[in-house]
Chain A
Amino acid sequence: MITEEERFPLQLTVIDIMAQLLSRRPEDIQMEHSLLNDLYLDSLHVLELLTLLEQRFGFETEAEDLQPHVFSTVESVVAFVREKAAS
């Protein structure tokens, strides 16, 4: 049987990084959570998160990646990381 972790390793890693940054438990962070309104991630946190994701997944953020819709929900961040990690 395939575990959740095997099916969604990238997603769980992203959530884990967010949890550490925000001092929350990973299980309290849902994919549909708004970074701003549910997780209270301010502008500085966004940049910090991005740096941690860059380091963990080995990509570099381009200027045009810094768009509000990328940092809208946990799901949008996961999608962004998936795209960057694959390229």
Chain B
Amino acid sequence: MTASLMLERLERAAAKAAEQYPFYRRFQGTGATFQDLPVMDKATINANREMLELPVQGPLIISHTSGSTGTPFLCVKTREEQRALGLAIQRSRRRAGVPTNGRMLLLGNALLADQRMVTLYGNRMMQEKPHLIQGRCSGLYELAMHAERNGLPIPESLVALQNWGEYAQPGQRREIERIFGVPMLDYYGMEEIWLIAFAGVDGSLRIDESLVYVEVLDPITLQPVPDDETGELVVTSFVMNSLPFLRYRTGDMGRVARDEGSGGPILTLMPFRQSSIKLPGREVQTAVLRYLDGFYKWLATDLGVRQFQLVQESHYAFRLRIAGSRSSDAELREAADKLANLLKKVLLSEELQIAVEHVEVIQPDPVSGKCHPFVSYVS
């Protein structure tokens, strides 16, 4: 979609919102543009729910999310909204070669909690012969490892894997795709509005402009960042009417660039959610950890690390948890020194201590079920 067409669409959405929702009525007739609409989040919608929910005829589909923020949120969709969003996901899968009514195997979050679940899903994979296996990257990885360890045949029917919104670390992705022999396609979305972006067969995350518009804003000032810069992803849904999501904060960091061929928007997600590194008297957004990209690539390629997690244990004490590396103590020490030097530059502090710990597996967050690349225990 051209920029001017998108702009028109956004202005129409803003005008319609001012007409339909009591919350936005103050903008009616004022000449306010889309950019004048407030940036919203779960807490703001929760606090103004009565002024945002449209009365609808017919049943609503209800679900809940707290995402990774811990703020409980009631999601509602009409059947029409659910149909439109569901078809969008099907379109993305169809583009990847999954048949129209293809067989799907969905890996539940419980897979990581109990080894017996991995065995169960392995058996189901062999019996059901799915065209698509979907789940979190960490779950797909566990299934891949189980299949390889036990010599399970990968069904010939399998066309693709779908990663439900978990950061796929390079080592994991390589192993998953090697073992299953098909591409792992990233899905990025939210329970509130479902699909935001779906990976093409070239691996790039393509924003579905028929469904959403994505802005990239500075998480502090909420102003747009320069083109191709990293910021917080703020989304506007063109499908959701029963409860609008206009300029809605995702809490995720990323950048948007235009694909050279199609001109469509491509999304690059940063592995770190919009949480912060807490230092005395200040907080540093974890977006700065994007400068460690080179370090993490080195971990994956040179040390064979398949998964990592950086933990802030106290203001100046960090622990780098590494899973899946057969590195020597000397190599791990080198990793700790590299990381310490980088963090000192990024955080402008000389006081940091880094420990590196080798673990068998990095446990997912008990609330979100996701394995977060950064966790802070500092309140």
Contacts and interface: CB of A to CB of B under 8 A. Distances in A.
Interface of A: 36-37, 42-43, 46-48, 50-51, 54, 61-64, 66-68, 71
Contacts of B92: 63
* Binding site secondary structure of chain A: helix
A66 B94 contact: yes
B280 interface: no
B94 A43 contact: no
Given A62-B94, A63-B95, A68 B100 contact: no
Contacts of A37: 58, 79
Given A66-B91, A66-B94, 4 more contacts: A37-B79, A42-B83, A46-B83, A71-B87
Interface in B148-199: none
Contacts, number: 45
A40 to B, nearest CB: 9
Contacts of A68: 80, 83-84, 87
28 contacts: A36-B79, A43-B82, A43-B83, A43-B86, A43-B87, A46-B83, A46-B87, A47-B90, A47-B100, A47-B101, A48-B101, A50-B100, A50-B101, A51-B99, A51-B100, A51-B101, A54-B100, A61-B94, A63-B91, A63-B92, A63-B95, A66-B87, A66-B90, A67-B87, A67-B91, A68-B83, A68-B84, A71-B87
Given A47-B101, A50-B101, A51-B100, A42 B94 contact: no
Interface string B28-64: 0000000000000000000000000000001000000
A62 B97 CA distance: 10
Nearest to A36: B79
Closest 5 CB pairs of A and B: A63-B94, A51-B101, A43-B86, A63-B95, A47-B101
Contacts of A67: 87, 91
Interface in B87-112: 87-88, 90-92, 94-95, 99-101
Contacts of B86: 43
Contacts of B90: 43, 47, 66
Contacts of A46: 83, 87
Tell me which of B84, B87, B88 has the highest count of chain A C-beta atoms within 10 A of its own C-beta: B87
Contacts of A61: 94, 100
A39 to B, nearest CB: 12
Contacts of B91: 63-64, 66-67
Contacts of B87: 43, 46, 66-68, 71
Interface of B: 58, 79-80, 82-84, 86-88, 90-92, 94-95, 99-101
Contacts of A50: 100-101
A42 B79 contact: yes
Nearest to A70: B87
Nearest to B210: A67
Contacts of B101: 47-48, 50-51
B94 A36 contact: no
Contacts of B94: 61-63, 66
Contacts of A42: 79, 83
A47 B99 CA distance: 10
Nearest to B57: A37
Tell me which of A48, A62, A66 has the highest count of chain B C-beta atoms within 10 A of its own C-beta: A66
A68 B89 CA distance: 12
A40 B83 CA distance: 11
B189 to A, nearest CB: 15
Contacts of B83: 36, 42-43, 46, 68, 71
Contacts of A43: 82-83, 86-87, 90
A61 B102 CA distance: 12
Nearest to A61: B100
A37 B59 CA distance: 10
Contacts of B82: 43
A82 B204 CA distance: 35
A51 B94 CA distance: 13
A36 B80 contact: yes
Contacts of B88: 66
